[in-house]
Structure 1
Amino acid sequence: MKILIVTQYFWPENFRINDLALGLVEKGHEVEVLTGKPNYPNGNYYDNYSFFSKKSEVWAGIKIHRSKLIPRGKSGGLRLIINYLSFAFFSSIRALFLKAHFDKILVYEPSPITVGIPAIIFKFRKKIPIYFWVQDLWPQSVTAAGGIDNSIILNLLEKLTKWIYKKSDKILIQSEAFKQILLSQNVDSSKIIYYPNSVESFFKELAPDASILETLPAGFKVMFAGNIGEAQDFETIIEAARIVSKTNPHIKWIILGDGRKKPFVEQKIEEFSLQNNVFLLGSFPVIEMPRFFSCADCLLVSLKRDYIFSLTIPSKMQSYLACGKPIIASLDGEGGRIINEAEAGLVSNAENPQLLASRIIEMASMSADEIKIMGKNAKKYFDNNFERELLIDKLEDIFENE
């Protein structure tokens, strides 16, 4: 099967679509990608890329068609909108000149929804079905994560979203809870297919790595890995850390990652004198994450309180489960449901620092055997629901039968 993946983000940017593309190639499919010039997350073009350079390249047997775009920068707001629109515009032009024929188009949409436009243009040229994989709900996520509440803008985005969904042949959703939103946007139920994210095969259980362990503080280690942003609700995390530090100073909070809220976190650590409790270690290559996770006692996932976030399965959830570690969650809805269903950790509702503090103290008080059982439950749930080969096989089945 010959598959065109349309995504604003692709290698060397670190997104899950990279591994899915590799998995399809491993299964014998021919994969090409229409994408932009890499600039995420730092907002500038990667080394050896520019507005005019590298119109195409090959990575791991995958031909990549690079569209021009304006990099996202670091300021957000207007610059991010320009980034989104520039990719939609230039990739649509690129789609007019792609000569190859494909059997399927897979659109990867972790925001923006406009990634569907070039795919629709190519569909009309070549009469190829579109499988649109929804990672973020639009326009709802624009309000939840971006703070946009202008009714005119939101109405336009709602109409654009409905149009893209209408032109797509099948819509894959990363969370079963997304279905109710799509139905409210006039998507026919028969078009909607639950297709969750998996993770790269290097996410797996490991024995504690001594070289990592010696760089970490002694004590009960609560580890967070990922974006330090608005959606992750670091206000609650820091307040919970402050509460815990008063009675349980042996509990250490280890933060791996970077993001726009990092200066806020640094300021709060100073303000609350949490230098011996909360540790910002910076960013590391994603392939190193399992080695860090092996040294943690539990892994932390958080989202701020918002109806749309309650419908989402946070992308780090599968990584945590795959590594067989108990999970502490500060979130509502689908993410918490999975942890409870898996019996893989403890959950507090979003934006409740007192309850989050209580859950962490509770886990730190458990026996080693109790914690180990939760870790085993996490891995079992991952294997049954999110394992990489399982989901690649499922996608093949969707392409062949839907």
Structure 2
Amino acid sequence: MRKRILVVTQHFWPENFRINDIVEGFLSDGIEVDVLCGLPNYPKGEWFDGYDAHGPFEEHFRTAQVFRCKEVPRKGNTSVRIFLNYVSWPWNARWSLNRLPGGYDAVFCFNTSPVLMCWPAVVYARRHHIPCVNYVLDIWPENLYSVLPVKNKFLRSVAQGVSDWLYRRCDRLIAMSEPLQKRLCERTGKSAADVAVIPQYCEDFYAQPIQDAALAERFGGRFNLVFTGTFTPAQSLETVIRAVCRARAMGASDLHLLLVGDGMSRDALTSLVAELNAGDCVTFCGSVPATDIPRFTTLADALIVSLSDSPDLGLTVPAKVASYMAAGKPVIASMDGAGYAAIRAAGCGPACPACDVDTLAKSLLDLYNAPPEERARMGENAKAYYLTHYRRSMLLKRLETFILDGKAD
């Protein structure tokens, strides 16, 4: 008899999240899937074409049945709108559980922010006596504080209590690194057997280069440093922009930063570029489909990943590290913790402390001046590390086994 999984995630196709590919993987492996999700409006808070506050609330993704629930869109990405978005979807999803046909063997929550996203998953699993497995991508409340400036001690204590309560009520948790596994075990009292370390894989297409003549004509002849992903305070992209400007002033005259993506920090970053008169060395490329990312990584001379200096952000390895390594290009990191350690272990490029503009600028200058064969070796090391640690087929199988059988290996 075929296994059935209920996937709970606020963000799903046509939004650009890795859960889309995970669901495709489940389906390809013969697992039946239903998805409980929101109405697509991330990251700008604007409804995607074909969607609005009135739905549609049921459709199909491949052979998966998709059940959508109402939410307040993030429009403007103000603190109030983000808060309303955070609380509205889990509330509406909780009261939409009766729409689901049932017959599931497990509930799997792809838990980006907020932690409240897993509440309907916990309720459904307990009601039907099936395991609830929570993939903890953004640990709360720590990740909340990197996005919203919550200073009130009472509100912070409430956020801590709610987060721990929800994590404890999940039967199994998935961490992306050993430091995060340790933190979750300490906070929930769960054993390591119930908190598996399964890194985020990257889709296979990230490993396939795509030559783009238009991009090459536009940006060729420069040393192109590429960042891809969401622009939020957690990424500390202001550190990257300042470091690029400083490295250029130190002699890296052709250094050029391409920012591929969008998010709540876009306006602030645009203002910073104007303030620094850096329009000639920083280009905002906007959001692109995930399958177009290899056009930019193929163009890149190096790829950059950054995080703020919050110690809690260092508990995980950002998902983009895997896709960067798959591209086989040098990777430079501005972060602490698990991501810093992964770049160092791979030997694929410089790893700098988070938010250290001077060290990052010096590392960028060194990478700019490095012989081509040294940068090629870094790229080869990146690809080798990806093949050993982040291959889709290997990690997808581990994910399925842990969700359905509770076995981590």
CA contact (8 A) 1:95 1:119 kept: no
Q: Separation in 2 of the partners of 1:207 and 1:49?
A: 31
* Counterparts in 2 of 1:41 and 1:32: CA distance versus 1, 3 Å: same
2:350 aligned partner, one-letter code: L
Matched to 1:291, the amino acid is R
Instruction: Report the counterpart of residue 220 of structure 1 in structure 2.
Output: 223
Q: In structure 2, what residue type is equivalent to 1:280? A: F
What does residue range 229-248 of structure 1 map to in structure 2 within 5 Å? 229-246=232-249, 247-248=251-252
Query: Could you tell me how far apart the structure 1 residues matched to 2:145 and 2:406 are?
Result: 36
**Is residue 34–residue 67 contact of structure 2 (8 Å, CA) maintained in 1?**
yes
Q: How does 1:342-361 map to 2 (within 5 A)?
A: 342-361=346-365
Kindly provide the amino acid, as one letter, of the partner of residue 182 in structure 1.
Answer: L
- 2:147 paired residue number: 145
Asked if the contact 2:43/2:262 (under 8 Å) is kept, the reply is: no
CA distance in 2: counterparts of 1:47 and 1:295, whole angstroms: 30
The range that moved more, 79-88 or 328-337, is 79-88
Cα offsets for 1:80-115 (capped at 9, x unmatched): 222122111111111134232100110111111111
Instruction: For 1:291 and 1:192, locate their aligned partners in 2 and report how far apart those are by CA, in whole Å.
Output: 36
The equivalences for 1:2-401 within 5 A come to 2-189=4-191, 190-206=193-209, 208-246=211-249, 247-398=251-402, 399-401=404-406
Structure 1 length-normalised TM: 0.96
> 1:99 & 1:264 partners in 2: Cα distance?
45
3-state secondary structure, aligned to 2:350 = strand
- Structure 2 runs not aligned, ≥5 long: none
Q: Write the deviation string for residues 118-147 of structure 1: whole angstroms up to 9, x where unpaired.
A: 112211221111111100111111112322
8 Å CA contact 1:344–1:378 kept in 2: the answer is yes
CA distance in 2, matches of 1:169, 1:269: 46
Q: Deviations over 1:255-277 (max 9, x none)?
A: 22222322333333333232322
The Cα offsets for residues 27-83 of structure 1, whole Å up to 9 and x where unpaired, read as: 011011011111111112222222232221111111101112221221421222221
Residues 268/124 of structure 1: CA separation in 2 closer, same or farther (3 Å cut): closer
Q: CA deviation at 1:217?
A: 4.7
Instruction: Give the total of aligned pairs.
Output: 402
CA contact (8 A) 1:144 1:308 kept: no
| Equivalent-residue separation in structure 2 for 1:240 and 1:124 (angstroms) | 50
1:324-378 Cα deviation digits (max 9, x unpaired): 1110111111111001101111111111111111111111111221111111111
Which letter maps to 1:297? D
Q: Secondary structure at the match of 2:385?
A: helix
Mapped to 1, the partners of 2:374 and 2:341 lie a distance apart of 20
Moved more, 189-198 or 29-38: 189-198
Q: Percent identity?
A: 31
* Contact 1:40 1:72 (8 Å CA) reproduced: yes
Structure 1 vs Structure 2 CA RMSD:
1.6
Structure 1 runs (4+) deviating above 6 angstroms are: none
Equivalent-residue separation in structure 1 for 2:302 and 2:377 (angstroms): 12
**Partner Cα distance (1:48, 1:272) in 2:** 40
TM-score normalised over the length of structure 2: 0.94
SS, match of residue 226 in structure 1 = strand
Tell me which moved more, 148-157 or 261-270: 261-270
AA of the residue aligned to 1:138: W
Cα separation, partners in 2 of 1:328 and 1:158, compared to 1, 3 Å:
same
Matches of 2:177 and 2:76 in 1, distance apart? 29
Instruction: Give the counterpart letter for 2:215 in structure 1.
Output: I
Range that drifts further, 253-262 or 61-70:
253-262
| 1:52–1:270 CA distance, 2 compared to 1 (3 A) | closer
The AA in structure 1 aligned to 2:88 is: S
Moved more, 289-298 or 309-318: 309-318
Greater alpha carbon shift after TM alignment, 73-82 vs 367-376: 73-82
Cα deviations by residue, 1:13-37 (Å, 9 ceiling, x for unpaired): 1111110010010101101101111
